[in-house]
Amino acid sequence: MTDLELQLAVERLHAQYAHALDADKLEEWPGFFTENGRYRVATAENEERGLPLAVLYAEGRGMMRDRIQSLRHANIYEPQRYRHLISSILVERVSNGEVRSSANFLVIRIMQDGATMVFASGRYLDRIVLPEMKYHERVVICDSRRFDTLLAIPL
């Protein structure tokens, strides 16, 4: 893969991820990760303080499937959708088997009554494995430490 092809492949992966979440295809979410892939929603403040706490943390697809199962069948929250906007995507080839990516995101949350707000902004810091094109690690660093009401759907 040339650098240009790699850039496009990573951008396509981020776009597919965003479309799946925004279209409520939450069951597809674990499939974007490797079997042992990690997903962590952190805050810029905790990262700067060197504190390990995540707002949401999953180690491997099993934990991700547990979260989706819980969202579908156990947790109660008002129906809502996200709209992800992902931009400024940097791609860095680490080896033949691994790519790192850094991208900005903005997530707008739309409630069932139409109430719309900027719900989160921040950066995705990703480790992606080749040739599978799956996230081995996705760290979502939110710019703000504040979360409005609840964070149900993954970012």
Partner 1 sequence: MLERTWPAEGATRVPYWVYQDEDLYREEQSKIWRGDTWNYLCLEAELPGPKSFVTTFVGDMPVVVTRDAEGKLNAWENRCAHRGALVCMQPRGTAERFSCIYHNWTYDHAGNLTNVAFRNGIGGKGGMPADADPESQSPKQLKVSSLNGVVFGTLSKSVPDLETYVGPEVLPRLKRVLKKPLKVLGAYTQVLPNNWKLYMDNTKDTYHASLLHLFFTRFRINRLTQGGGVFVSKDGAHHCTYTEMIESKDDHYEKEGVRSAGNQAFVLEKPEVLQQVDEFGDRVSIQILTLFPGFVLHQIRNSLAARQVVPKGVDRTELHWTLFGFADDDEEMTRRRLLQANLVGPAGFISMEDGAATGFVQRGVAGSPERASVIEMGGANVGSGDSRLTETAVRGLWKTWRRYMNV
Residues in contact with partner 1 by the rule CB under 8 A:
41, 43, 45-46, 49, 51-60, 62-63, 65-67, 69-70, 73-78, 145-152
CA distance readout (Å), 77 to 34, 73, 112: 29, 11, 11
Q: How many CB atoms lie within 10 A of CB 67?
A: 21
Candidates 38, 66, 34; CA nearest to 52 is 38
CB 77 to partner 1: min, Å: 5
Closer CB to partner 1, 42 or 103, in the complex: 42
What is the smallest separation between the CB atom of 49 and partner 1, expressed in angstroms? 8
Rank residues 10 and 38 by Cβ distance to partner 1 and give the closer one: 38
Q: How far apart are CA 28 and CA 24, in angstroms?
A: 9
For partner 1, give the closer residue by CB, 98 or 148.
148
Tokens of 145: 């430490």
